[in-house]
Structure 1
Amino acid sequence: MESNAQLKLILLGKKKAGKSASGNTILGRDAFMAKKSSKSVARNVAVKSGTVDGFPVTVYDTPGFYDPKMSTEEIQQILEKEIQKFELGPCVFLLVIKADSFTEEERKTVEKIEKLLGEKRLEKTWILFTRGDELQDENMTIKEFISDTKALEKLVQKYDQRYHVFNNKKKKHSDQARLLLVKILQRSFGVKGESLKKIPTFLKNIII
């Protein structure tokens, strides 16, 4: 399969939102350094490729906003330089938000990212909630969590219900990454069916 037929998934969000861990969940391996630490994990964009159920993807892990070691201006400059590269082929932006509380800092992060991407790119942006394991522990669904916070409910409505939730504590390949890809390909690219293994044979005729 041609390299430009890979779907690019760009992880954006606040520091410690779970971007690196989500990249690992998508690829089904420890591709990105993901650990709880006061130290900055990524100062530049990290890039790793792999497959999800046979479907080729390239994942971009970007520096997180509100990192005490990096200014907002530094992060914006890095992302502005990279965004045009992301769009050389099919891509989707994943706005990573923790499913525990939608703080003022997180709300401001969303605003910064939206401003950076611009109106047109928001159409190919999805919300990826992390900490799905904590929701399970509390016996709460992602829909219930969203409806509990008005600001978050409005955000999800703004993105036309384009969202997914990850439990990043599940190791190796899991069905949650496949389901995310199926949702994206169906809603963002009009691909029919749920078998990712069949998609690459005609992907380039549809979305490139």
Structure 2
Amino acid sequence: MECRCDKDNFDNAVSGWWPNSNGIQMGALTVVGYLLYRFSQTLPALIRWPIRLFCSLTGLTALWGWVGRLLGTVRGIQNLFNLVSRLWRFIIAFSSKCKWLVEVIKTLTGNQTVELDKDQTSNSPTKAALRFILLGPTGGGRTSLAERLLGNSEKEVPKNQLMQSSKRRTLVDGREVTVVDTPDLLGSSLGIKSRAREALRSLQLASPGPHAFLVVIKAPGSSRIDQDLTQAIGATVELFGEGAMEFILPVLTHADRLSPACTVDQLLDVGSGGLKRAVLLCGQRPELVDNRAGRPLEAQRELREQLVERVIDMKKLRGHFIHELQSRENHIREELLADMSSALAQKLEHMKGC
């Protein structure tokens, strides 16, 4: 009985003292008890049991059990992440060793089809955009070239004459290309007012300005009557000003009507030298193209890339064309904006004073 009373008194003393301790005493006792409990694991049983009894009385055994479960959960999450990381490294290593399978699939399905689908389905071009304005006399292949640039390999040129400038867009190797087709601006089928209106309209469609004027004519020797490139360049300068000369890229169409071995150099050497004089005016080597409808997709892709690469080179040197009227319009717009901002500032000052 005496021993039991002493034990009860001891338990009551401990239980009465523990809850009334402040935060510092509880923290210190918790740390000491935890260290003693962990240290007791390496001690002989004779010394270990008194330490465990102390931890049991102070409640530190339950605390250690909770900490142990928490550490076990953390180790489990860590093991799961390690497993996922090893699985991911295995997938990367396996895919790098199976690139040959991708090449086999491209070979079976047609590599050029895959590339064209990528160009036509991508909605987020990652490269700087390009803008073309197509000019040229009637019958030179201007509109059919526009269709080839847009990827319409099977579409025939409409029989009715194009009477108004039109703008369409396409993607070439992830780059947005704007193609502005025009009516007969360089010929005599339109009146002076119509030519002036459509010339300015084409600039508006290619805003803030085209990177190249593609002057499209038939290649010399491809028809009974040759078209004069010098005259076409002169008409372009009359419409758009002297600054347009640096942005002219001559395009010679109907290459299929020439001999298969015919090149641009041969065309420059033959004849009276009219083509060579025209090239000296604009400073750009002509491009010889086959603009027939129904051409294979690979040939169509090469044509597009051929012209796009030429225009990219021109853009790097000169940027885009800005018409004199556009510069004047921009200047007037800036002056108008300055006047409106001044008027608004005066109005705000007046309201503030009131």
TM-score by structure 2 length? 0.46
Alignment match, 2:268: 146
8 Å contact from structure 1 (residues 135, 141) kept in 2: no
Q: Deviations for 1:6-65, whole angstroms, at most 9, x for unmatched residues?
A: 211110010111111111221221597615x4x41x100121111123321010110024
* Aligned mates of 2:154, 2:172 — CA distance in 1: 14
Alignment match, 1:116: 239
8 Å contact from structure 2 (residues 236, 244) kept in 1: no
Distance 1:119 1:3, change over 3 A: farther
Alignment match, 1:82: 202
User: Aligned pairs, how many?
Assistant: 185
TM-score by structure 1 length? 0.75
**AA matched with 2:265:** K
Distance 1:176 1:62, change over 3 A: same
How far residue 136 of structure 1 moved from its aligned partner, in angstroms, is 3.7
**AA matched with 1:142:** V
**AA matched with 2:178:** T
Gaps of 5+ in 2: 1-123, 318-354
Q: Deviations for 1:66-123, whole angstroms, at most 9, x for unmatched residues?
A: 364x335422331134325524155211111110357466643332112112121221
Alignment match, 2:177: 57
- Pairwise mapping of residues 125-164 of structure 1 onto structure 2 (< 5 A)? 125-137=248-260, 139-149=261-271, 150-164=273-287
8 Å contact from structure 1 (residues 99, 131) kept in 2: yes
8 Å contact from structure 2 (residues 131, 206) kept in 1: yes
How far residue 178 of structure 1 moved from its aligned partner, in angstroms, is 0.3
Alignment match, 2:310: 183
8 Å contact from structure 1 (residues 126, 162) kept in 2: yes
**AA matched with 1:144:** Q
**AA matched with 1:164:** E
- Structure with the higher strand share, 1 or 2: 1
8 Å contact from structure 2 (residues 249, 285) kept in 1: yes
8 Å contact from structure 2 (residues 217, 227) kept in 1: no
Q: What CA RMSD, in Å, does the superposition of the two structures yield over aligned residues? A: 2.9
* Aligned mates of 1:30, 1:47 — CA distance in 2: 18
* Aligned mates of 1:47, 1:3 — CA distance in 2: 21
Alignment match, 2:48: none
**AA matched with 1:66:** G
* Aligned mates of 2:230, 2:263 — CA distance in 1: 21
Alignment match, 1:174: 301
Distance 1:30 1:175, change over 3 A: closer
Gaps of 5+ in 1: 191-208
The structure 1 residue matched to 2:218, chosen from 98, 121, 131, is 98
The 3-state SS of whatever aligns with 1:100 is coil
How far residue 126 of structure 1 moved from its aligned partner, in angstroms, is 0.7
Percent identical across equivalent pairs? 22
Alignment match, 2:131: 8
- Structure with the higher helix share, 1 or 2: 2
* Aligned mates of 1:118, 1:48 — CA distance in 2: 25
Distance 1:23 1:57, change over 3 A: same
The 3-state SS of whatever aligns with 2:291 is coil
8 Å contact from structure 2 (residues 169, 177) kept in 1: yes
How far residue 177 of structure 1 moved from its aligned partner, in angstroms, is 1.5
Distance 1:48 1:147, change over 3 A: same
Q: Which has the larger radius of gyration?
A: 2
* Aligned mates of 2:283, 2:230 — CA distance in 1: 18
* Aligned mates of 1:71, 1:90 — CA distance in 2: 24
Of 109-118 and 84-93, the range deviating more from structure 2: 84-93
